[in-house]
Amino acid sequence: MKTLTGIFLDTGNLQEIRTYHALGVIRGVTTNPTILVKDGVLGGWEGIEERCKQIARMVEPLPVSVEVTTNDSDEMREQARRFHGWAANINVKIPIHGPEGETDNLRLIHELETQEDIRINVTAMMSAQQGLLAAMAGATYVSLFAGRVNNMGYDARQELRRLRQLLDACGSPARIIAASTREALNIIEWFEAGADIVTVVPQFIETMLVHPYSKETVRQFLEDGRTLQREGAPDVTMTGAH
């Protein structure tokens, strides 16, 4: 099994990225037009380009995934080249196939990776077999939308395990991303199931970090510390020692 890569922050908000990058807990950023609009990006392509460049500079050399906004092959190719030119650490998100099941996307993914040296993150996948095909086409990242798989009544961990075994068996260097996280528990479960990366919205990092009993314990330590300062001597019965 490959070495764990870690958490990709799923946002376009600069303050959120700055905050969690400073904690040292993220290993990349993912974003898309919907997220960027929600986070207040205006000005069309100029606004998108400026925000993506800001994110790339902020987390360099960590990777930043930016999604195409079209399913036309020529337009996707042009956008991929444009995004790639914004920063060396930007890679391009392309769905596994078109809205009606068109297969041209996989051909484009293969060409961009093998002929143009553009790193591709293949998205919108729901099964191990899709992930295997994307990896065989040369994708750097293969994103299984595990939260949506769970929404359909299936256990995404089974697909992640299958995909992990398949990629390891064929020696593929592709990195497995588990995406569309629904709750903090998903993060650990999906890593345990074989994901290299889990995309996480910022509030789930806080959920992972902050525990009510930790808060209670810290308050107890601080109160006992204030007691010691007032009394001027150590208290060997101090409850905080346990």
Residues marked active site are found at 93
Distance CA 162, CA 156 (A): 10
- CA geometry: angle 113, 119, 122, nearest 5 deg: 90
The answer to whether 132 touches 144, Cβ cutoff 8 Å, is: no
- Give yes or no for a cis peptide into 61 (omega within 30° of 0): yes
Distance CA 147, CA 124 (A): 11
N-to-C CA span, the chain: 38
At 41, which amino acid appears? V
Strand, coil or helix: 38: helix
Contact 67, 32 (CB under 8 A): yes
DSSP 67-105: E-S---HHHHHHHHHHHHHH-TTEEEEEESS-TT---HH
CB 94 within 8 A of CB 123: yes
